[in-house]
Structure 1
Amino acid sequence: MSDDKTPAPVARQNPGEPPVPASPVPPVIAERSMDAQTMKAFAHPLRMAMYSRLTDVGSATATSLARHLQESTGQTSYHLRQLEKHGLVEEDPDRGTGRERWWKPLGYRMHVEELGQDAANLQVMHSVLHEGLRHRMETITSYLDAAPTEPREWVDASVDTTTTMTMTLEQERTLGEELLQVIERHRKALGPSGKAPAESPESRRVRLYLSLFPLVDEEDTQGADDGGTSGGGPGAGRG
């Protein structure tokens, strides 16, 4: 997985309009679906590390990636070309200078239920998923460690919360669709670049982690803890 992905296509509509039937639509965030060949190409440890770094900083050169990851520029240049070949990165037109290419990550979908049908894919798929989880936990931990020294207004604007409910499949699907609509609305407000205006001196890269899934192998707790929310309110953390 990456920090730029969505589940399967869902129907969306504007607030206040009646629901529309589910139908295939372009992904909200993701650029492409990851097939088995792309997944295997992506599963290289250095490629996953480079991709994670690109999502952190927005775009980077082979030289800066090499310096950050303590690799040779030759290595990072080669692996960037492989990531480009599989549609996972592309040149950043806003940063190119003509002397050195800047690269930015492209979002993807990873349909684990489809890829997992082939036993040969399982180990590779687990490597990709676990690397995503590792990077996620590392990012959250780094923020929590830094939070005491962060500007108060940025901490207050951050959210870390966990809510557990008992829902039907349709209720869960509706919740997921509405959450994705909110994310897409804010992404569109940033314009094609996905960035705050260059003249905004207070802009920072922020990350949203959103997980919505049914609990596995849980005991029957119908009616227990419905609506329970744990975790801090604003200021406890952010994606």
Structure 2
Amino acid sequence: MPERETPLDHAAMKAFAHPLRIRMFSYLTDHGAATATQLAEHLGESSAQTSYHLRQLARHGLVEEDADRGTGRERWWQAASFSIPGTEARKDPALRSLAGTVLSGLLEQRVHALRTWFEDTDTPTSWVEASLQQSTTASLTLAEFAAMNDAVQKVLEEHTSQARRRRDEGGHRELDERRVRMYYDAFPLPVTD
């Protein structure tokens, strides 16, 4: 069974709930590693602001330094993987509120990313045809639901780790390589009569 990311704790959720930090994290996931100066230029902030917020995100494991880049004072940062706590957030009203704030910010970024992709008329047809937007609803048992989520996680990890190994071994970028985003939400719908 694939290992899932550790859910954010209360302090990390509180640190991440800041709108600028969500925007910075989204930029790093969209564009890859960046410096505080690059983030400042893109987001219209001062580099002192982005540097401070990067340190706060790093303190909670939401971003990490890209050790393969940068020299001396130039620090490159990349987004880290995490999950939003499910069970704990349902029990703790304060954590549930923070999780709601973070999810709202991430959903806004998701809508923006999807809209930007859809409106980009310069995307080559081959990339458009390889893309997938799908919604599926089915009746599953708890065991089937858990097995499906584990299988999807395994496939995502297999393909993303394969790409990481290719880059690590070759040290160069393929001509047709692009950053891609995968969204996957699987959750039970409310029980109805």
1:144 corresponds to which residue?
118
Q: What do residues 40-64 of structure 1 show as CA deviations (whole Å, max 9, x unaligned)? A: 1111111111111111111111011
1:38 and 1:194 mapped to 2: Cα distance?
Answer: 30
The answer to whether the 8 Å contact 1:35/1:115 transfers is: no
Q: Over the residues paired in the alignment, what is the CA RMSD in angstroms?
A: 2.0
Asked if 1:110 corresponds to 2:122, the answer is: no
SS in structure 2 opposite 1:90? strand
Q: Could you say if the C-alpha distance between residues 152 and 54 of structure 1 is closer, same or farther in structure 2, counting changes exceeding 3 Å? A: same
Asked if 1:79 corresponds to 2:53, the answer is: yes
Matching residue within 155, 166, 190 for 2:163: 190
**What does 1:64-213 correspond to in 2, within 5 Å?**
64-146=38-120, 148-191=121-164, 198-213=172-187
Q: Which segment drifts farther, 112-121 or 152-161?
A: 112-121
SS in structure 1 opposite 2:139? coil
Aligned AA for 2:8?
M
Query: Unaligned stretches of 5+ in structure 2?
Result: none
Deviation at 1:78, TM superposition (A): 0.7
Asked if 1:53 corresponds to 2:27, the answer is: yes
Q: Which has the larger radius of gyration?
A: 1
Q: Could you say if the C-alpha distance between residues 95 and 137 of structure 1 is closer, same or farther in structure 2, counting changes exceeding 3 Å? A: same
1:15 corresponds to which residue?
none
Q: Which segment drifts farther, 152-161 or 97-106?
A: 97-106
SS in structure 2 opposite 1:109? coil
TM-score of the superposed pair, with normalisation by structure 1: 0.74
Q: Could you say if the C-alpha distance between residues 197 and 211 of structure 1 is closer, same or farther in structure 2, counting changes exceeding 3 Å? A: farther
The answer to whether the 8 Å contact 1:116/1:125 transfers is: no
Q: What do residues 35-92 of structure 1 show as CA deviations (whole Å, max 9, x unaligned)? A: 0011111111111111111111111110111111111111001111111111111111
Aligned AA for 1:175?
M
1:20 corresponds to which residue?
none
Deviation at 1:181, TM superposition (A): 1.1
Task: Flag the structure with higher helix content.
Answer: 2
Query: Unaligned stretches of 5+ in structure 1?
Result: 1-10, 13-25, 221-239
1:191 and 1:91 mapped to 2: Cα distance?
Answer: 17
The answer to whether the 8 Å contact 2:35/2:77 transfers is: yes
Asked if 1:215 corresponds to 2:189, the answer is: yes
Deviation at 1:192, TM superposition (A): 5.2
TM-score of the superposed pair, with normalisation by structure 2: 0.91
Q: Give aligned-pair identity as a percent.
A: 42
SS in structure 2 opposite 1:191? helix
Give 4+ residue runs of structure 1 displaced > 2 Å after superposition: 120-123, 191-197
1:16 corresponds to which residue?
none
Q: Which segment drifts farther, 99-108 or 192-201?
A: 192-201
